[in-house]
Amino acid sequence: MEFDYIVVGSGSGGSSVAGRLAEDGGSRVLVLEAGGSDRRLPVLMPAATYLYAIGNPRFDWRLTSAPDPSRGGRTDYMPRGKVLGGSSSINGMLYVRGQPEDFDDWAANGCAGWDFESVRPYFRRAEDNENGADADHGVGGPLGVQNLRTSHPLSEAFLRAGVEAGLEATPDLNRPPQGGIGYVQATQRGGWRCSSARAYLWRKRPNLTVLTQAQVRRVLFEGRRAIGVEFERQGRLVVARAGKGVVLAAGAFGSPQILMLSGVGPQAHLREQGIEVVHDLPGVGENFHDHPGTSHIVWVDQPTYNVQHTLFHAMLYGALWLFAGRGPGTTPDAHVLAFTRSRPELARCDLQYHFTPVGYDLTDTGPILFDKPAVTALNNIHRPHSRGHVRLASRDPSAAPAIQPNLLGDARDLDTLIAGAKRLRAIFEAPPMARHVLGEFKPGKEVQSDDEWAAYVRETSIGIYHPAGTCKMGSDPMAVVDEGLKVRGLSNLYVADASIMPVIVSGNLNANCIMIGERCADFLKAA
């Protein structure tokens, strides 16, 4: 099999880089996806994802972390998309860009050309925003972006409570400067999920080959030049060759794992696993971080979506979604977002809240739904200081990687989460929301003192499914890719996903990873 480009992974970065490379018709592009088709109800209907996709081996890698010493040895369930579209096919669909300062900081710390003014055109190019085009948003791009299709009375109550608690009502949270509280924008078209695969890969092109159920085992090299990949499909080992470039877009866990299986990574670790070293690159798998978060859950006096699972509701909401593109079936995983500061003297927001009229909890074994009316809000840190790592658990490509989150390894993150949890409780205690609250399930009214808050955070905090940083971009000795996303010390090999983020962005990852893929395509075309 001979191609110009091979893209490993069809998630947010992989789909966008492949779609752009193929659009001129002159390049032969192969996309390899370990999972199956995304044209299934649990993917297409937003509300079905949490019920039928997450935790389902048909759509989810179902990863689990190692015991985390920073949280008393707790383990985390880590869903990642194993389906065409990757995690963009099972995520919450929230369209959230990072803060401009995120990208300016990248540029100031060894990532030349990644300042906000340089990346903003790529956000706009990808976007087809129903609100129209302007300096911040684009239309005509492949990625559908829409406003919340159908709200809920308690979502409006939370928004008004946030304003009474001191947050500014913000109609568009993707316009700089990021801050305040407002309704979400979501990656949807007509209420249907618009995954990166739907945006970039669904259009048939004669020069674009997309293979599902194809698990990449390793990158192949001649000397230090990547020449192709070896993958397994339908019980057979297959070799595909790339004349111009191999792009790893397998995510913050998959990309470092494939690099290490290919002999690229920390030399001592590779030798421990019996892998021949192609290139000693110590930063591979390091710098792992996620957005640490806690939940605030209250019982309420109105029906919420988690209890509306009768046959009648399923038929009603399914019909509204299918024929009108509205209703609870279109719901992303949050209705309202808020951005705020843990300390008033901070120059920019360092906390984010996700509110949804669904009573659920993110537990060590995955999300669960409650059987009585409740609402949930997540409190998470934007730019954590703690760092973990990803290693090989085995040289077997089918084995899951060994993931150490070290989620609260830096005490500053514990303090920030506590401050965020306290402020979130204050929003729930503001009159527009408080009048609907029947009781506080989490953290529980018994949590009052600083010691009680610290214990609560250690016992319940998790990463909120936003892994990043494990093949970081930069110029320091621990950087894995350069500012052109090429793996340092090698040729013809690139990475284009959340793993390249030197510091995680201040918001959900999908939109930012699509931007990374868009940029990578331009780098490859110019090479």
Same domain, 61 and 170: no
Q: What is the mean pLDDT of the chain?
A: 97
365 and 228 fall within a common domain: no
Mean pLDDT of 368-383: 97
Number of folded domains that form the chain: 2
One domain, residues 424 and 503: no
pLDDT reported for residue 467:
99
Answer yes or no: do 192 and 314 share one domain.
no
- Bridge partners for 351 per DSSP: 340, 381
pLDDT band, residue 213 (cuts 50/70/90) = very high
The mean pLDDT of 414-440, rounded to a whole number, is: 99
**pLDDT at residue 366 in the model:** 81
Domain end point (choices 460, 480, 498) = 460
Active site residue 466: yes
Cβ-contact 517, 16 below 8 angstroms: yes
What is the pLDDT at residue 322?
Answer: 92
> Pairing mode, if any, of strands 374-381 and 292-300?
antiparallel
Looking at residue 367, what is its pLDDT?
Answer: 87
* Complete DSSP assignment for 379-413: EEESS----BEEE-S-S-TTSPPEEE--TT-SHHH
Q: Which of 268, 270, 271 is nearest to 257 (CA)?
A: 270
DSSP string for residues in 232-282? EETTEEEEEEEEEEEEE-SHHHHHHHHHHHTTEE-HHHHHHTT---SEE-T
pLDDT digits (tens, 9 = 90+) for 235-278: 999 999 999 999 999 999 999 999 999 999 999 999 999 999 99
Q: Which of 48-62, 115-129, 173-187 has the lowest mean pLDDT?
A: 48-62
Facing residues of 336 across strands? Answer: 183, 355
Phi-psi region of 289 (alpha: psi -120 to 50; beta: other; left: phi over 0): beta
Residue 54's pLDDT is 93
Task: Evaluate if residue 50 carries a pLDDT over 80.
Answer: no
Cα(474)–Cα(472) distance, integer angstroms: 7
Residue 431: count other Cβ atoms within 10 Å of its Cβ.
Answer: 10
Q: Are residues 155 and 231 in the same domain?
A: no
Q: What is the pLDDT of residues 71-100, one digit of tens each?
A: 999 999 999 999 999 999 999 999 999 999
In angstroms, the CA 125 to CA 510 distance is 15
Mean pLDDT, residues 382-402: 98
Question: Are 263 and 320 in a shared domain?
Answer: no
307 and 226 housed in the same domain: no
**Residue 13 pLDDT level (bands cut at 50, 70, 90):** very high
Q: Summarize the confidence of residues 428-434 as an average pLDDT.
A: 99
At 338 the pLDDT is 99
408 near 388, Cβ under 8 Å?
no
Specify binding-site residues.
Answer: 83, 216
Question: Is residue 414 domain-shared with residue 362, that is, in the same domain?
Answer: yes
pLDDT of 302 reads 96
Length of the chain: 527
Q: What is the pLDDT of residue 14?
A: 99
Task: State the average pLDDT over residues 385-401.
Answer: 98
Containing structural domain, residue 203:
1-143+188-287+389-405+468-527
Binding residues for FAD: 83, 216
- What CATH number corresponds to the domain at position 309? 3.30.410.40
State the CATH number of the domain containing residue 55.
3.50.50.60
Measured between alpha carbons, how far is 298 from 443 in angstroms, rounded to an integer?
9
Residues 162 and 280 in one domain: no
pTM recorded for the entire structure: 0.98
Question: What does the DSSP 8-state code read for residue 328?
Answer: G
The pLDDT-based confidence of 422 (bands split at 50, 70, 90) is very high
Look at residue 364 in the predicted model and tell me its pLDDT.
80
Q: Do residue 296 and residue 263 come from a single domain?
A: no
Q: Do 146 and 312 meet the contact criterion of CB atoms below 8 Å apart?
A: no
CA-wise closest residue to 252 among 66, 480, 43 = 480
pLDDT tens digits, one per residue of 324-352: 999 999 999 999 999 999 999 999 999 99
Compute the average pLDDT of residues 43-69.
93
> Which of 460, 476, 496 represents a domain boundary (last residue)?
460
Domain match, 212 and 308 both: no
Q: Are residues 76 and 112 in the same domain?
A: yes
